[in-house]
Amino acid sequence: EVQVLESGGGLVQPGGSLRLSCAASGFTFSTYAMGWVRQAPGKGLEWVSVISGSGGSTHYADSVKGRFTISRDDSKNTLYLQMNSLRVEDTAIYYCAKGLRISLYFDYWGQGTLVTVSS
Amino acid sequence: DIQMTQSPSSLSASIGDRVTITCQASQDITNYLSWYHQKPGKAPKLLIFDASNLETGVPSRFSGSGSGTDFTFTISSLQPEDIGTYYCQQYDNLPLTFGGGTKVDIK
């Protein structure tokens, strides 16, 4: 059974940093793209970042480029999102999602982890 | 960036009704479109990919159609468990973009 489970969310002050983790199981992690999608309170879905299988390429939304870094450790079946210079507008539930080998839709999603940026 | 315009933004329908949601892309995305359902307080769930392919395990009352810029999502007979918000997503180009969502509830 495919599972993805996020952790690492919490309350952080503006300008602070946080690292999210996503533990995956039930599939050959290294061969699939993985992504992060966020949802601000009461709002719709916003794509954040994606990394290809084996980490060869990474892509970011303009809203987080230069501040967030996506990475993966295929030996641990774990995806990460390092978030620096956090802003109030980064407050959201962050979902980890499994992509496909080639296509970038998401067939499995975690339950989400809440990041709150507030002073 | 490709803009995805979903309509309506909300709808109320009776059990057994046929429900239709549209999604329009700002440029040709071929058939690189997926549909998701998000129940309140839960993560999104994939229903349709490549515009018209039903994800494994998804009930056959859900269907999708379209290509190019205009897409349609249909629930043939609305059930109580179908309440929530539906989103389209294009994956033809980065950045990946979602429609604004359609909130469905029971009349």
For chain A, give the percent of residues with pLDDT over 90.
93
Q: Name the band, by pLDDT with cuts 50, 70 and 90, for residue A59.
A: very high
Dihedral sign (CA A61, A64, A69, A73):
negative
Residue A91 has pLDDT above 90, yes or no: yes
B87 and chain A: CB distance < 8 Å anywhere? yes
Q: Name the band, by pLDDT with cuts 50, 70 and 90, for residue A57.
A: very high
Residue corresponding to tokens 């180009």: B93
Is the bond preceding B95 in cis, omega lying within 30 degrees of 0? yes
Residue B34 has pLDDT above 90, yes or no: yes
B68-100: per-residue pLDDT in tens? Answer: 999 999 999 999 999 999 999 999 999 999 999
Which residues of chain B lie closer than 8 angstroms to A45, CB-CB? 36, 38, 44, 87, 89, 98, 101
Task: Give the model's pLDDT for residue A94.
Answer: 98
Q: Name the band, by pLDDT with cuts 50, 70 and 90, for residue A55.
A: confident
Residue corresponding to tokens 């390429």: A57
Task: Give the model's pLDDT for residue A71.
Answer: 96
Q: Considering only alpha carbons, which residue of chain A is nearest residue B47? A: A107
The residue-averaged pLDDT of B41-59 equals 97
**How far A14 CA sits from the closest chain B CA (Å)?**
25
Residue A102 has pLDDT above 90, yes or no: no
Q: Which two tokens stand for residue B94?
A: 């980065």
Please list, in sequence order, all residues whose beta carbon lies within 8 angstroms of the beta carbon of residue A96, skipping any fewer than 6 positions away: A4, A5, A6, A20, A22, A24, A34, A35, A36, A79, A109, A110
If you average pLDDT over every residue of chain B, what do you get?
A: 97
The residue-averaged pLDDT of B99-103 equals 98
The helix/strand/coil state of B33 is strand
Task: Give the model's pLDDT for residue A99.
Answer: 93
- How far, in whole angstroms, is CA A92 from its chain's centroid? 12
A15-49: per-residue pLDDT in tens? Answer: 999 999 999 999 999 999 999 999 999 999 999 99
Task: Give the model's pLDDT for residue A54.
Answer: 78
Q: Considering only alpha carbons, which residue of chain B is nearest residue A58? A: B94
A111 and chain B: CB distance < 8 Å anywhere? yes
**How far B7 CA sits from the closest chain A CA (Å)?**
14
Residue A101 has pLDDT above 90, yes or no: no
A105 and chain B: CB distance < 8 Å anywhere? yes
Of A58-72, A91-105, B90-104, the one with minimum mean pLDDT is A91-105
What's the rounded Cα separation, in Å, for the pair B91 and A3? 23
Task: Give the model's pLDDT for residue A113.
Answer: 98
Task: Give the model's pLDDT for residue B64.
Answer: 98
Q: Residue B42's CB: how many other CB atoms inside 10 A?
A: 12
What's the rounded Cα separation, in Å, for the pair A57 and B60? 36
CB spacing of B96 vs A47 below 8 angstroms: yes
